[in-house]
Amino acid sequence: MKATIVTIGDEILIGQIVDTNSGYIAKALDRIGVQTQEMLSISDDKQHILNTFTQLQNQSDLVIITGGLGPTKDDITKKTFCEYFEDTLVVDPRVESHVIELIEGFYKRPITQLNRDQALVPSKCTVLFNQMGTAPGMWMKKENTIFISLPGVPYEMKYIVDNEIVPRIVKEFKRPYIIHKTLMTYGQGESMIAERIEAWENNLPEFIKLAYLPAPGRVRLRLTARGENKELLEQAIQENVASVTQIIGDVIVGFEEEDTIEVVLGRLLAQQGKTIATAESCTGGKIAQMFTAVAGASQYFKGGVVTYSKETKINILGVEEALIEQFDVVSAEVAEAMALAVQKKLKTTYAIATTGNAGPTSEAGKAEVGTVFIALATPKEVLVEEFNFGQPREKVIDRASNKAFEILQKEILKNLQ
User: Which pLDDT score, from 0 to 100, does residue 391 have?
Assistant: 87
- Let me know if domain 177-255 sits in CATH 3.30.70.2860: yes
Alpha helices, DSSP H only, in 40-92?
46-56, 77-84
User: Which pLDDT score, from 0 to 100, does residue 257 have?
Assistant: 57
User: Which pLDDT score, from 0 to 100, does residue 359 have?
Assistant: 85
Q: How far apart are CA 111 and CA 105, in angstroms?
A: 10
Neighbours of 417 (CB within 10 A): 4
User: Which pLDDT score, from 0 to 100, does residue 375 have?
Assistant: 98
Contact 375, 338 (CB under 8 A): yes
Contact 78, 89 (CB under 8 A): yes
Predicted model pTM: 0.65
User: Which pLDDT score, from 0 to 100, does residue 401 have?
Assistant: 94
CATH topology of domain 261-416: Maf protein (3.90.950)
User: Which pLDDT score, from 0 to 100, does residue 216 have?
Assistant: 76
CA distance from start to end of the chain: 48
Q: How far apart are CA 278 and CA 301, in angstroms?
A: 9
What does DSSP assign to residue 59? T
User: Which pLDDT score, from 0 to 100, does residue 410 have?
Assistant: 87
Q: How far apart are CA 148 and CA 46, in angstroms?
A: 17
Q: Give the type of residue at 402.
A: N
User: Which pLDDT score, from 0 to 100, does residue 261 have?
Assistant: 82
Q: Are strands 371-377 and 350-356 parallel, antiparallel or unpaired?
A: antiparallel
In tens digits, what is the pLDDT along the chain, a chain of 417 residues?
A: 899 999 998 888 888 888 999 999 999 999 898 999 999 999 988 999 999 999 999 999 999 999 987 776 667 888 899 999 999 999 999 999 999 998 998 889 999 888 898 899 999 999 999 999 899 999 999 999 999 999 999 999 999 999 999 999 999 888 888 888 999 888 788 999 999 999 999 999 999 999 999 987 789 999 999 998 989 999 999 999 999 999 999 888 777 655 678 888 999 999 999 999 999 999 999 999 999 999 999 999 999 999 999 999 999 999 999 999 999 999 999 999 999 999 999 999 999 999 999 988 776 457 899 999 999 999 999 999 999 988 899 989 999 999 999 899 889 988 775
- Judged by DSSP in three states, 12 sits in helix
User: Which pLDDT score, from 0 to 100, does residue 250 have?
Assistant: 87
Contact 392, 370 (CB under 8 A): no
What does DSSP assign to residue 368? P
| CATH architecture of the domain with range 2-172 | 3-Layer(aba) Sandwich (3.40)
Domain boundaries, the chain: 2-172, 177-255, 261-416
